[in-house]
Chain A
Amino acid sequence: MQLYGTDISSRLLLGTAQYPSPAVLQKAIETSRAEIITVSLRRETADGSGAGFWGLLKDSGCRILPNTAGCHSVQEAVVTAQMARELFGTDWIKLEVIGNSDTLQPDVFGLVEAARLLCADGFKVFPYTTDDLVVGEKLLEAGCELLMPWGAPIGSGQGLRNPEALRAMRAHFPDVPLIVDAGIGRPSDATRAMELGMNAVLLNTAVAKAGDPVLMAQAMAQAIEAGRNGYIADPMDPRDMAVPSTPTLGMAELI
């Protein structure tokens, strides 16, 4: 798939927070074969240089997608994005503008405004948004070339709360890369998202907080690949009645 003109073959984007240790994170990245990893600038610096941790992330060889996690205003998100560009030398930014600190729902009004400012400033914006079609349109108008609708609230692991809305998004934006971001809990959730025609899945907690994050990273990668193949292979439609898979007429004449 192409994201902002860059060829990416892995459809799993992996977050890097909350792992038991950087060593486990590194192994999880390897096992998942993710090519894009997200990094929260805010959480990992508190004014210092998180150098040790970032060194490990850079060594992973992955493309880094900094995010504005935890930003509650347009200005905060824009400033964080600019800092991230300096620090990581990338114009990619996962844009989060949080509207409510308890539910972590995106503030879609602030999101569109911040996206407009950042796109005008040359950023390639990955907006974390809801599954609302009109908000999606406004984000594309603002200059975004892809959309990252939620599956469920961040870190909730509830899976896809509204698959119909994602299906509608796919139909409404047939040529826009759609990446489900947030809410994935189990591999089957990721498969489901991919079967709906999403282009990729971004997840973090489901892997980081699993008992064995490395094994879960592998399971997610397999689930995403299976879902994608299933979508491309054009699955059969469900039927109300049974249909035998063996011929019903004639006896086998074996003698």
Chain B
Amino acid sequence: MITIAGAGLAGLASAYELAKRSAPVTIFEKAEQPGESSVARFAGGMLAPFCERESAEEEVVTCGVQAADWWSQVTPVTRHGTLVVTPPRDQAELTRFARRTSHFTEVNGQAISELEPALAGRFERGLFFKEEAHLDPRQALADLTGAVQELGVEIQYGRTAPARVNLNCTATASSLPDLRAVRGEMAILHCPEVQLSRVIRLLHPRMPLYLVPRADGLFMIGGTMVESNSDRPPTLRSLTEMLSAAFAIHPAFAEASVVEIGAGLRPAFPDNLPRLVEHDGSLHLNGLYRHGFLLAPALAQQAAQHLLKEACA
């Protein structure tokens, strides 16, 4: 029996990889309800390895390109790409973004309006990352939970894990050295007047933001990264910046309902890359940072291989 602490993104993805290899798995989750204590519920759900390369290491691309296919096994994935735009005065940001990334085509105002009719006449230049995708994080967590249970994984909710487990996936709750919390803030808007079919990234020198369309006229907006371990609700400043960015993307967002705001703590190592590490008698999968949905599949595969090789030996 392989034991896992934490039924968040890392724990569930690892359980899935283990169960597919026919290993019996039990997950201990301290929360009473599925997803309740997982920071992934505040995520954007972007599967955007090429855009992330702007500020992340190459490993994020090499490990992340398979994510869309992996998630398609268990949950709906929207493969419409990412559109990166910027207000006219911040054109230099777009040029810089293009220099640091790959797998995009430059698009003009005409092409932008063909991709997203709602944005017709609003932006003159953009970058289109055709191969990228996105999903709905809460739907994906629920679907992944169902998928692992179907494969025979037992999830014990409301149970604190024993001190030693085979795989510890407890994110910021773990006591790994060098692990820190990076706060992220988000809001969910309901705006049926605006139809967008793909992730829109708005480049801004102070606060680059992303707007992720979800079903039923909902949009998630997020993007802050604050070096802090406070999970208090979003600050007025962050919300002001995020909401005005939505307004900059389309003025119809002025009439949107803000249906939810939230803040979560992302676990990160100093290089902002995830790791598998042995510590205090357990293997730990941690440090997914802002790349949870993008990198969990690759790390889960590595964790499963590591644990099963160990089991054979």
Q: A46-B232, A46-B235, A211-B100 are in contact. Are A53 and B227 (CB under 8 A)?
A: yes
Provide the residues of chain B in CB contact with A252, threshold 8 Å: none
- Say yes or no: A44 contacts B228, CB within 8 Å: yes
Closest A residue to B56 by beta carbon equals: A20
Provide the residues of chain B in CB contact with A48, threshold 8 Å: 181, 183, 228-232
Provide the residues of chain A in CB contact with B271, threshold 8 Å: 21-24
- Say yes or no: A23 contacts B100, CB within 8 Å: no
Q: A46-B232, A47-B232, A211-B100 are in contact. Are A26 and B226 (CB under 8 A)?
A: no
Counting CB contacts under 8 A, is A229 at the interface?
no
Closest B residue to A157 by beta carbon equals: B92
- Say yes or no: B183 contacts A56, CB within 8 Å: no
Q: A52-B179, A211-B99 are in contact. Are A21 and B230 (CB under 8 A)?
A: no
Q: A20-B56, A155-B205, A209-B96 are in contact. Are A46 and B270 (CB under 8 A)?
A: no
Main secondary structure of the interface of B (DSSP, over half): loop
Counting CB contacts under 8 A, is A61 at the interface?
no
Contact with A along B189-219 (1 / 0, CB 8 A): 0000000000000000110000000000000
Provide the residues of chain A in CB contact with B99, threshold 8 Å: 211
- Say yes or no: B227 contacts A52, CB within 8 Å: yes
- Number of residues in A with C-beta < 8 Å to the partner? 22
Counting CB contacts under 8 A, is B55 at the interface?
yes
Among B180, B226, B272, the residue within 8 A (CB) of A20 is: B272
Residue from B99, B205, B228, B269 having most chain A Cβ neighbours under 10 A: B228
- Say yes or no: B96 contacts A47, CB within 8 Å: no
- Say yes or no: A49 contacts B96, CB within 8 Å: no
Closest A residue to B183 by beta carbon equals: A46
Counting CB contacts under 8 A, is A163 at the interface?
no
Provide the residues of chain A in CB contact with B229, threshold 8 Å: 48-52
- Say yes or no: A26 contacts B96, CB within 8 Å: no
Provide the residues of chain A in CB contact with B269, threshold 8 Å: 23
Cα distance A24–B271 in the bound complex, in angstroms: 7
The minimal Cβ–Cβ distance linking A103 to chain B, given in whole angstroms, is 12
Provide the residues of chain B in CB contact with A162, threshold 8 Å: none
The minimal Cβ–Cβ distance linking A54 to chain B, given in whole angstroms, is 8
Counting CB contacts under 8 A, is A45 at the interface?
yes
- Say yes or no: A56 contacts B230, CB within 8 Å: no
Among B96, B179, B226, B270, the residue within 8 A (CB) of A21 is: B270
Contact with A along B232-245 (1 / 0, CB 8 A): 10010000000000
Contact with A along B86-130 (1 / 0, CB 8 A): 000000000010011000000000000000000000000000000
Counting CB contacts under 8 A, is A43 at the interface?
yes
Cα distance A53–B205 in the bound complex, in angstroms: 22
The minimal Cβ–Cβ distance linking A186 to chain B, given in whole angstroms, is 14
The minimal Cβ–Cβ distance linking A199 to chain B, given in whole angstroms, is 28
Residue from A43, A52, A55, A211 having most chain B Cβ neighbours under 10 A: A52
- Say yes or no: A56 contacts B270, CB within 8 Å: yes
Q: A44-B226, A155-B205 are in contact. Are A52 and B180 (CB under 8 A)?
A: yes
Cα distance A43–B57 in the bound complex, in angstroms: 24
Provide the residues of chain B in CB contact with A20, threshold 8 Å: 55-57, 272
Closest B residue to A42 by beta carbon equals: B237
Provide the residues of chain B in CB contact with A155, threshold 8 Å: 205-206
Provide the residues of chain A in CB contact with B206, threshold 8 Å: 155
A interface residues, Cβ below 8 angstroms from B: 20-24, 26, 43-53, 55-56, 155, 209, 211
Given contacts A21-B270, A45-B228, 19 further A-B contacts (CB under 8 A): A20-B272, A21-B57, A21-B271, A22-B180, A22-B271, A23-B270, A44-B228, A45-B226, A45-B227, A46-B183, A46-B226, A46-B228, A46-B230, A46-B235, A48-B229, A50-B228, A51-B229, A52-B180, A53-B227
Q: Across chains A and B, which 8 residue pairs bring their CB atoms closest together, nearest first?
A: A52-B180, A48-B230, A48-B228, A53-B227, A23-B271, A21-B272, A23-B270, A44-B227
Sample 9 A-B pairs with CB under 8 A, ordered by A number. Answer: A21-B268, A23-B271, A24-B271, A45-B228, A46-B230, A48-B181, A48-B230, A50-B228, A51-B229
